[in-house]
Amino acid sequence: MKKLVTAPYGLHGSLTVPGDKSISHRAVMLGSISKGKTVIHHFLAGDDCLSTLAAFNAMGVKSERDGETVIIYGNGIDALKEPAQPLDMGNSGTTTRLLMGILAGRDFETRLFGDASLQKRPMKRVSEPLSHFLGARIELTDNGTLPATIYGQKLHGTHYQMQVASAQVKSALIFAALQADTPSTIIEKLPTRNHTEIMLNQFGANIETAADQKTIRVMPKPELTGQTVEVPGDISSAAFFLTAGAIVANSRIRLERVNLNPTRTGIITVLQKMGADLQIEALPTDGEPLGNITIATSQLKPIEIEAEDIPAVIDELPLVALLAACAAGTSSIRGAEELRVKETDRIQTVVAELRKLGVEVEELTDGMIIKGRSQWAINDDQLDSYGDHRIGMMDAIAALKADRPLQLANADAVSVSYPGFFQDLERLLGGDLA
Ligand SMILES: O=C(O)C1=C[C@@H](OP(=O)(O)O)[C@@H](O)[C@H](O)C1
Ligand SMILES: C=C(OP(=O)(O)O)C(=O)O
């Protein structure tokens, strides 16, 4: 049980948030299937990305890690070897789903398993299109979950219209399409994060995205060469402090070198629409867009979030609910049924935690309706992450506004995406005015 603190004097100071989780995963994967040396700076050494690194090590890829710097010695995709043991995906949906796309076209068999939460998450969304459209062979449990066995096959190019708005499914399809005999076209339901496409092109592939931002053309069998990757700060981690800065009285925080890829900046759009006091300073970069964001205590207006808004803010929706709980009026989140299949059912867990804080919130099948107010009447001091990193960190930010210290069960879960979260929070609580 971790004691959560309040913030009567606000939060102040500057912070460089950890490296982006999605980009760190992809840097390890691309380094491992390319030829030559890949150097990754500001790698996120969270549990999920370490699961990805360990999986490739088990397939014969040599790497070295010194804190946030990782060097991968790649020998190309054909040099991956059958692992001696089943691969442990830990808590990471991204590792599992993207690996399925890579392994579908290898000439060996692999078994994947995960922790109790991951073994409940849906995997047919990846195995079915890979099997029916590209010729893969993947076995799941009768419930469509892990453990999975992937029997590597010769793959064929395809034209596939996606049924779910998911960057993980899209990326798995792209990885399989790279190994096919002819080009493929993948059409997204809604545009989702495009880190796979951007990074693959940096490593030498030919992936074209049409002007609609949804139609992706993949040319197979590229020569991929190792690169240097500067991982920008994770906007999904910055979002906890953007929220804290907006809702906690007397705060002013600057988050430095945050990734501003437009497929990820939904939380900034939300904060702007809610009337937050926020400034962005774009920074020069050779890679993904990046900048410093400053936020100060704000009077927030309510917001309505709909299906097409969701992909760019998917992992920040617990925080959008928290912002809404502090806004002057009623907010709604709809079209967010994907939240039900994350590390926890995040509609259920967010509703449960907000109700403990005394927030009036109605659960919908695809989202929630939240009545905001300036002061909550807390009715349960025991918050719980339920083993979900993003719920635990949302709880810690919410607790800053409480009238007394609260408790958090299963606080360790934060190490999945932000191992230094509580230390960074402490720094901002004791920080000088930025
Ligand atoms: O591709 C990625 O790196 C991710 C995609 C999203 O999942 P979905 O593809 O399931 O929406 C997101 O929720 C996850 O945290 C990371
Ligand atoms: C959903 C998440 O990750 P993953 O799907 O990789 O487990 C997340 O980080 O919020």
Q: 22 CB less than 6 Å from ligand 2?
A: no
**Cβ atoms of residues 312 and 259 within 8 Å:** no
Considering only CA atoms, which residue is closest to atom 5 of ligand 2?
93
* Identical fold, 2-19+232-429 and 21-218: yes
At the topology level, CATH places domain 21-218 in: UDP-n-acetylglucosamine1-carboxyvinyl-transferase; Chain (3.65.10)
- The CB-side HSE value for 293 (13 A sphere, CA atoms) comes to 30
Q: What is the pLDDT of residue 433?
A: 39
Cα distance between residue 80 and residue 35, in whole Å: 11
- Strands of the 184-187 sheet, one edge to the other: 159-161, 184-187, 215-218, 207-209
Catalytic residue flag (residue 315): yes
Could you say which ligand is closest to the alpha carbon of residue 169?
Answer: 1
Give the phi and the psi of residue 248 in degrees, each rounded to 5.
-95, 130
Comparing C-alpha atoms, which of 311, 341, 261 is closest to residue 93?
A: 341
Per-residue pLDDT of the chain (434 residues; tens, 9 = 90+): 999 999 999 999 999 999 999 999 999 999 999 999 999 999 999 999 999 999 999 999 999 999 999 999 999 999 999 999 999 999 999 999 999 999 999 999 999 999 999 999 999 999 999 999 999 999 999 999 999 999 999 999 999 999 999 999 999 999 999 999 999 999 999 999 999 999 999 999 999 999 999 999 999 999 999 999 999 999 999 999 999 999 999 999 999 999 999 999 999 999 999 999 999 999 999 999 999 999 999 999 999 999 999 999 999 999 999 999 999 999 999 999 999 999 999 999 999 999 999 999 999 999 999 999 988 999 999 999 999 999 999 999 999 999 999 999 999 999 999 999 999 999 999 864 33
Distance CA 95, CA 27 (A): 12
Closest CA to 173 of 76, 81, 105, 79: 105
Ligand 2: nearest atom to the Cα of 118: 7
Q: Which of 48, 234, 315, 388 is catalytic?
A: 315
Whose alpha carbon is nearest atom 10 of ligand 2?
315
Q: Which tens digit of pLDDT belongs to each residue from 298-339?
A: 999 999 999 999 999 999 999 999 999 999 999 999 999 999
Record the pTM: 0.98
What is the tens place of the pLDDT at every residue in 266-305? 999 999 999 999 999 999 999 999 999 999 999 999 999 9
ipTM at complex level:
0.99
CA of 92 to the centre of ligand 2 (A): 6
Q: Binding site residues for 3-phosphoshikimate, as ranges? A: 21-22, 26, 166, 168, 315, 342
How remote is the CA of residue 126 from the centroid of ligand 1, in Å?
13
Nearest CA to ligand 2 atom 1: 342
Q: Is residue 13 classed as helix, strand or coil in its secondary structure?
A: strand
The pLDDT value recorded for residue 432 is 46
Domain range annotation of the chain: 2-19+232-429, 21-218
State in Å: Cα 375 to ligand 2 middle. Answer: 31
The 35-41 sheet, strands edge to edge: 62-66, 69-75, 35-41, 228-230
Pocket of ligand 1 (CB under 6 A): 22, 94, 166-168, 171, 193, 314-315, 338
Question: What are the tens digits of pLDDT across the range 365-381?
Answer: 999 999 999 889 999 99
Q: How far is the CA of 342 from the centre of ligand 2 (A)?
A: 6
Q: What string of DSSP letters covers 206-269?
A: -EEE-TTS-EEEE-SS---B--EEEPPBPHHHHHHHHHHHHHSTT-EEEEEEEE--TTTTHHHH
Place of tokens 């004691």: 3
CATH architecture of 2-19+232-429: Alpha-beta prism (3.65)
Ligand 2 close to Cβ of residue 90 (< 6 A) = no
